[in-house]
Structure 1
C-alpha cells in the first residue's frame, strides 16, 4: 500500500501524485464519513462485465408493450 501525506492549500486543493493520476484517472469521488474522508477514483463501468448476467428465454418484438400489459394486469 502506498501512502502520502499532503497539505491542503488555501484554496482547499490537494495535489495527487502524477503516477497515481495516470493509474486512476483525473476524476475522484469524495466521501465524508464520521471519522475520515475517503477519495475514490471515478471510473466508467466496463459494460462487458454486465454481459450475460441475465438469461432471457425469448425476446419478443414488442417487449415494452408486453411489459406494460403485464404491469397493468398485475395491478388489477
Structure 2
C-alpha cells in the first residue's frame, strides 16, 4: 500500500492511497490552518473506527445477520504535550 500527500497551502493537504480517492486534510486556525477539512488526528480516529466497523459488518454478513443499522462511536483524548 502506498499513499501520496501533497501540500496545497499552509497546513492544507490533499492525499490519496491505492484506491485513488483524494481526500483533503487541514489544521486548526490556532496552528495556521484554515479548518477547511478534517485534521490529521481526526482522520486517524475515523480510520480506526471505520476499519473496525468494516470488519464487524463483514463478519456479520458472512453469518447472514440481517444488519439494518450499525454505527460506531469513538472518543479519544489527545495528550496536551507531545
**TM-score, with normalisation over the residues of structure 1?**
0.23
**Rg larger in structure:** 1
Query: Structure 2 length normalisation: TM-score?
Result: 0.22
Structure whose residues are more often strand by fraction: 2
